[in-house]
Amino acid sequence: MIEVRNLSLTYHSDRESHLAVDDVSFRVEAGEFYTLLGPSGCGKTTTLRCVAGLERPDAGTILIDDEPVSSVEEGIWVPPNQRAIGMVFQSYAIWPHMSVFENVAFPLRHGVATNVSGDIGMKVRDALAMVQLDGLEDRPAPHLSGGQQQRLALARALVMEPKVLLLDEPLSNLDAKLREEMRVELRRLVKSFGVTTIFVTHEQIEALTLSDEIAVMSDGKLVQEGPPLEIYSRPSDPFVANFIGQSNMLSGVVRQSGIETPVGTIVCEIPEDCGEGAAVMIAVRPENILLGDGGDGNLLRGDVASRIFLGSSVECVVTVGEVGLRVLVHPDAAPQEGANVALRLPTRHCLVMRA
Amino acid sequence: MGRQDAWGWSMFGVVGVLSAFIIVLPIIVFWLSVREGRPIDPEAVYSFVHYVEVFSDEFSFEVLANTLGFSVVTLAVALIFGIPTAWLAERTDLPGKPVLYTLMTIGLLMPGFAAAMGWLFLMHPRIGMLNIWVMDWLGLAEAPFDIATIVGMGWVQGLNLAPVAFIMTAAVFRAMDPALEESAEMSGAKFSTIVRKVTLPLAWPGILAAGIYIFTIGFAAFDVPAIIGWSNRIFTFSTYMVLQLNPDDDLPQYGVAAALSTLVIILAALLSWWYSRLQKQTHRYQVVTGKGYRPRIMPLRGYVWAAWGFLAFYFTLSKLMPLLLLVWGSLLPFFQVPSMEAIESMTLDHFRELPWELTLEGIKNTGILMVLTPTVTLIISIAFSWVVLRSKVPGRSFFDFVAFLPHAIPNIVFGVGILLFTLYIVRNAIPLYGTLWILLIVFVVARVSYGTRMTNSSLIQIHKELEESATMSGASTGGVVRHVIVPLLTPTLIYAWLWIALLTFRELTLAVILTTRDNVTLPVVVWSLWNASGFGQAAAITLILIALMLPLVILYWWVTRATGLYQTR
């Protein structure tokens, strides 16, 4: 279990200060796979490094299994080498001057706080077998492929049986094909170990496929937290709606009859805190907009301004009044450029959030 | 890392102590330069009497003029040989480039004082072999050449520093974007125009850096002016300083030496400031981008022979000829031009009659220093680099500046500083004077700039996550240093160790100032024999010194080839 309370950290450079982490709080249950997702510079890696102890926060408390490891308010600081946290770095940080075996044995041999009972060799071999690197013990570490290095880094992080595992963009250095394979593999390994995991990534697809829980960060703040499906289908913030998948954004004002927008009045579910006259944004994902006028939903008409073939679908931009809406359609059903088409925005796919 | 453990603290300690030394020594020099009378004496007063003494002596101005002239000639000769060699090595299809690099490395065998002796045997107005030949041949009454002049000494020093110019400019030629020259060619420019208008202007910042560096070395050079100039009463700054510390017929003039040192510190500061300004201006053309270019290679075609002729000319003049003359001189009872008579009189007497007790003492001391200096320097350099690059102490870049000071200020100033420090400040409390330790300390101070440049640049290349992952694995700061940083730095450390060992082996300047009968080093034995006019014996012991250096040079050559590192200083 990891709990982060009101964490803040400011970076000071020569000229300016930058609030990298701004009052972030979250809780990761034991055995949970928790993902910090956001664009580069959003503070996700800094947050992770605070949990690791590689950065010192300016404010806030971090607890692991209800024990504070860092608390500015209480003056508590446990150095990173005594936190017994396993960590996989973005570059893997495989020591090039050691063999595969020596890399994995390092935490057992040189850790200041690790109490190793039993046979180091056995534990190392077990850890290597778990990531399917058994038999490569004596190979010099630089002679491994990218995927093998990544699994080696994982074995090294897990060999001391940590309570917590931190993963800093571990898939970003792999090529696309391998990345897909390792996504599945990574979750399986981590879950079979039952270790509480925080995963940092800027790839939404990784976050959606791996996580039990996702926290989306932007500008040092945590903007939305929830299970993958909820984050994707019910974004509560315009940033989340656009960062995870794509969304057409319509600005509007709440009225009695629905929401008044530049494309007309849209009828949809309005959150309770948005009273009449409130300025809101409506997010509609391109794949949720339907072509044709038969059926339910908010009916609009527009002209096809452009069409781009994407392989499994065609992305059309349809101009309704002044607004261009992106619509994903099956290649067989794609209209011609310049065609006048009817669009339907299903009520349940029009998500309203405060502007 | 927020909190330091014992290792972290001890690294701060090491850095702090050496930094204090580096800062305190020039301050002591300055303080003693403004004290009249015995400096520690309560009755001593502050005054500028030593400066008055320096500036009222006409000889000081002669020395200044000599030094400037000597430095300018040195610079010109070094660049004339160094830059074309660099261009040939990096930008042409010259065959046998490995041979060129090997010769440049083996050239390290030749200490400045050895080359100077060789040239004196060749061009001394009275005994110089070349002079005697030419006078015989042309029937001249007077010697046509005189090496014991400012130009002559600058020539010898310049030949010796050409490899520095070579190394520093080769890096620039190597990293130049070939498209810049190709586009000049596509614009219709001919070869000579491209060189004048594109290549040289682009290489200018590198050439300038090499030039200023060589000028500074020339300014503070001791070996060549000492061997050639001293006996002919031609002094430059360093030899004049040593003369003040050991006058022929007077007590040591420590106050004057301190004043001279202070003036040189000011001069060095001005030069550094001017250089950093120039660098900012020339920064606008960033030639060295760090990208791996494949530089444009010029086919030499028929000019290969001219190119190798030029290189052979250089190597003969700077290395082969002085070495042969040393061998010749060491085997003759007195120096004479080659003849059957001379060959018949060849003998090993000079080797036999060497003061062997002193020589062995010198070999022992030099051996100890050769092992300790690089070892201590590199341990301290690692600590400096760690503090500057990896710790998060506020003001850590100050330590980088301090580590760079011995590069900017001529080493002889630190020699004078520690001499005055041991004589006046710690005196009997810590009996350093006349021990090997005093030499070790000042050698380490003199080499720490180089050591930290090396450890800095290779620590920067070690990905920080390699250390962080060790920390996350539970390792202490000491564990990270021992198990990750040091093993990864090892190739650089081996290379730098050998290079510092080589420099220590041939270091004459600092040793001359600080040596007594008890801590004599091998180069100092050479110097004292030479001073006692034992030319043949000095040549003999120089050859022994070169022979002893040979394994180290071969090892160094092998390591540079194995690691791909190559660099002087």
Based on the fold, state whether residues B84 and B161 are members of the same structural domain.
Answer: yes
Contact between B475 and A112 using a beta-carbon 8 Å cutoff: yes
Domain membership flag for residue B198: yes
The domain boundary residue, chosen from A169, A200, A233: A233
For residues B77 and B154, give the distance between their C-alpha atoms in angstroms, rounded to a whole number: 8
Domain membership flag for residue A178: yes
Cβ atoms A96, A141 nearer than 8 A: yes
Cβ atoms B157, B318 nearer than 8 A: no
**Secondary structure of residue B45 in the 3-state scheme:** strand
pLDDT in tens, B8-34: 888 899 999 999 999 999 998 998 888
- Using pLDDT thresholds of 50, 70 and 90, give the confidence band for residue B458: confident
- Using pLDDT thresholds of 50, 70 and 90, give the confidence band for residue B288: very low
User: Which residue in A89, A112, A160 is closest to B469 by CB distance?
Assistant: A89
> Which range scores top for mean pLDDT: A158-167, A233-242, B258-267, B374-383?
B374-383
A chain contacts of residue B1, beta-carbon cutoff 8 Å: 54, 79-80
**Secondary structure of residue B331 in the 3-state scheme:** helix
Based on the fold, state whether residues B87 and B103 are members of the same structural domain.
Answer: yes
Alpha helices in B195-248 (DSSP H): 200-220, 223-224, 237-245
Interface confidence (ipTM) of the complex: 0.78
Residue B173: predicted pLDDT:
83
Based on the fold, state whether residues A223 and A77 are members of the same structural domain.
Answer: yes
Based on the fold, state whether residues B19 and B117 are members of the same structural domain.
Answer: no
Nearest to A82 by CA among B477, B52, B219, B247: B477
**Residue whose entry in the numeric block shows the structure tokens 């030099």:** B366
Domain membership flag for residue A137: yes
Tokens of B9: 């603290």
Based on the fold, state whether residues A36 and A183 are members of the same structural domain.
Answer: yes
Considering only CB atoms, which residues of chain B are within 8 Å of chain A?
A: 1-3, 5, 463, 465-466, 468-476, 479, 483-484, 487-488, 490
Tokens of B268: 């060095």
pLDDT in tens, B47-99: 888 898 888 888 889 999 999 999 999 999 999 999 999 989 888 888 888 88
Residue A271: predicted pLDDT:
85
The domain boundary residue, chosen from A204, A233, A262: A233
Residue B442: predicted pLDDT:
94
CATH code assigned at A184: 3.40.50.300
User: Which residue in B1, B468, B475 is closest to A110 by CB distance?
Assistant: B475
Based on the fold, state whether residues A209 and A164 are members of the same structural domain.
Answer: yes
The pairing of beta strand B35-36 with beta strand B45-46: antiparallel
Residues 6+ apart with CB under 8 A from A228: A207, A208, A209, A211, A214
Nearest to A350 by CA among A244, A252, A205, A209: A252
Query: What range defines the domain where residue B103 resides?
Result: 68-234+293-347
The pTM of this model reads 0.81
Q: What is the rounded average pLDDT of the residues B36-54?
A: 79
Domain membership flag for residue B428: yes
- Using pLDDT thresholds of 50, 70 and 90, give the confidence band for residue B293: low
Instruction: Tell me which H or E stretch contains B403.
Output: helix B397-408
Contact between B475 and A82 using a beta-carbon 8 Å cutoff: no
Cβ atoms B311, B88 nearer than 8 A: yes
Helix-then-strand count for chain B, H and E: 27, 2
Largest CA distance in chain B: 84
Number of independent structural domains in chain B = 2
Based on the fold, state whether residues B332 and B365 are members of the same structural domain.
Answer: no
Domain membership flag for residue B387: yes
Q: Which of A95, A116, A152 to mutate to test the interface with B (most CBs of B within 10 A)?
A: A95
Based on the fold, state whether residues B446 and B315 are members of the same structural domain.
Answer: no
B chain contacts of residue A85, beta-carbon cutoff 8 Å: 472
Based on the fold, state whether residues A79 and A210 are members of the same structural domain.
Answer: yes
Based on the fold, state whether residues B324 and B358 are members of the same structural domain.
Answer: no
Based on the fold, state whether residues A193 and A251 are members of the same structural domain.
Answer: no
Higher pLDDT, B326 or B125: B326
For residues A198 and A34, give the distance between their C-alpha atoms in angstroms, rounded to a whole number: 5
A chain contacts of residue B487, beta-carbon cutoff 8 Å: 95, 97
Sheet holding A17-28, edge to edge: A17-28, A2-12, A59-64, A67-71, A76-77
For residues A345 and A291, give the distance between their C-alpha atoms in angstroms, rounded to a whole number: 9
Residue A115: predicted pLDDT:
61
Task: Tell me which chain B residue has its CA closest to the CA of residue A166.
Answer: B472
Domain membership flag for residue A240: no
Residue B311: predicted pLDDT:
94
The domain boundary residue, chosen from B330, B347, B364: B347
Domain membership flag for residue B533: yes
Nearest to B383 by CA among B21, B14, B5: B14
For residues B425 and B406, give the distance between their C-alpha atoms in angstroms, rounded to a whole number: 21
CATH code assigned at A293: 2.40.50.100
Based on the fold, state whether residues B470 and B406 are members of the same structural domain.
Answer: yes
Residue B287: predicted pLDDT:
45
Residue B4: predicted pLDDT:
57
Based on the fold, state whether residues A324 and A187 are members of the same structural domain.
Answer: no
Based on the fold, state whether residues B100 and B175 are members of the same structural domain.
Answer: yes
Based on the fold, state whether residues B331 and B370 are members of the same structural domain.
Answer: no
Based on the fold, state whether residues A168 and A251 are members of the same structural domain.
Answer: no
Domain membership flag for residue A8: yes
Alpha helices in B107-199 (DSSP H): 112-123, 129-138, 150-174, 178-186, 191-194
Based on the fold, state whether residues B366 and B297 are members of the same structural domain.
Answer: no
| Phi, psi angles (nearest 5°) of residue A264 | 115, -175
How far B393 CA sits from the closest chain A CA (Å)?
Answer: 13
Based on the fold, state whether residues A115 and A262 are members of the same structural domain.
Answer: no
Based on the fold, state whether residues A222 and A282 are members of the same structural domain.
Answer: no
Contact between B472 and A52 using a beta-carbon 8 Å cutoff: yes
Residue B568: predicted pLDDT:
34
Q: What is the rounded average pLDDT of the residues B467-473?
A: 92
Domain membership flag for residue A238: no
Least confident piece of the model among B168-172, B215-219, B236-240, B418-422: B168-172
**Residue whose entry in the numeric block shows the structure tokens 């004459």:** B508
Domain membership flag for residue A198: yes
Domain membership flag for residue B391: yes
Task: Tell me which chain B residue has its CA closest to the CA of residue A49.
Answer: B468
Residue B567: predicted pLDDT:
42
Q: Which residues pair with A200 in a beta bridge?
A: A36, A168
How far A169 CA sits from the closest chain B CA (Å)?
Answer: 13
Least confident piece of the model among B91-95, B204-208, B419-423, B519-523: B204-208
Domain membership flag for residue B260: no
The pairing of beta strand A351-354 with beta strand A279-284: antiparallel
For residues B333 and B459, give the distance between their C-alpha atoms in angstroms, rounded to a whole number: 54
Based on the fold, state whether residues A188 and A314 are members of the same structural domain.
Answer: no
Nearest to B486 by CA among B513, B459, B508, B523: B459
Based on the fold, state whether residues A41 and A169 are members of the same structural domain.
Answer: yes
Considering only CB atoms, which residues of chain A are within 8 Å of chain B?
A: 52, 54, 56, 77, 79-82, 84-87, 89-93, 95-97, 106-107, 110-114, 153, 156-157, 160, 166
Domain membership flag for residue A116: yes
CB atoms near residue B325 (< 10 Å): 22
Contact between B472 and A54 using a beta-carbon 8 Å cutoff: yes
Task: Reduce the secondary structure of chain A to three states and give it as a string.
Answer: CEEEEEEEEEEECCCCEEEEEEEEEEEECCCCEEEEECCCCCCHHHHHHHHHCCCCCCEEEEEECCEEEEECCCCEECCHHHCCEEEECCCCCCCCCCEHHHHHHHHHHHCCCCCCCCCHHHHHHHHHHHCCCCCCCCCEHHHCCHHHHHHHHHHHHHCCCCCEEEEECCCCCCCHHHHHHHHHHHHHHHHHHCCEEEEEECCHHHHHHHCCEEEEEECCEEEEEECHHHHHHCCCCHHHHHHCCCCEEEEEEECCCCEEECCEEECCCCCCCCCCCCEEEEEECHHHCEECCCCCCEEEEEEEEEEEECCCCEEEEEEECCEEEEEEECHHHCCCCCCEEEEEECHHHCEEEEC
CATH code assigned at B210: 1.10.3720.10
Contact between A54 and B463 using a beta-carbon 8 Å cutoff: no
Based on the fold, state whether residues B322 and B375 are members of the same structural domain.
Answer: no
pLDDT in tens, B520-540: 999 999 999 998 878 889 999
Based on the fold, state whether residues B330 and B466 are members of the same structural domain.
Answer: no
Domain membership flag for residue A271: yes
Domain membership flag for residue B504: yes
Nearest to B535 by CA among B516, B543, B511: B543
Residue at B191: amino acid letter: F
Domain membership flag for residue B461: yes
For residues B203 and B90, give the distance between their C-alpha atoms in angstroms, rounded to a whole number: 13
Residue B3: predicted pLDDT:
47
Number of independent structural domains in chain A = 2
Query: What range defines the domain where residue A264 resides?
Result: 246-348
Residue B140: predicted pLDDT:
81
Residue B246: predicted pLDDT:
84
Based on the fold, state whether residues A79 and A159 are members of the same structural domain.
Answer: yes
pLDDT in tens, B502-513: 999 989 989 998
Residue numbers of chain A with a pLDDT score lower than 50: none
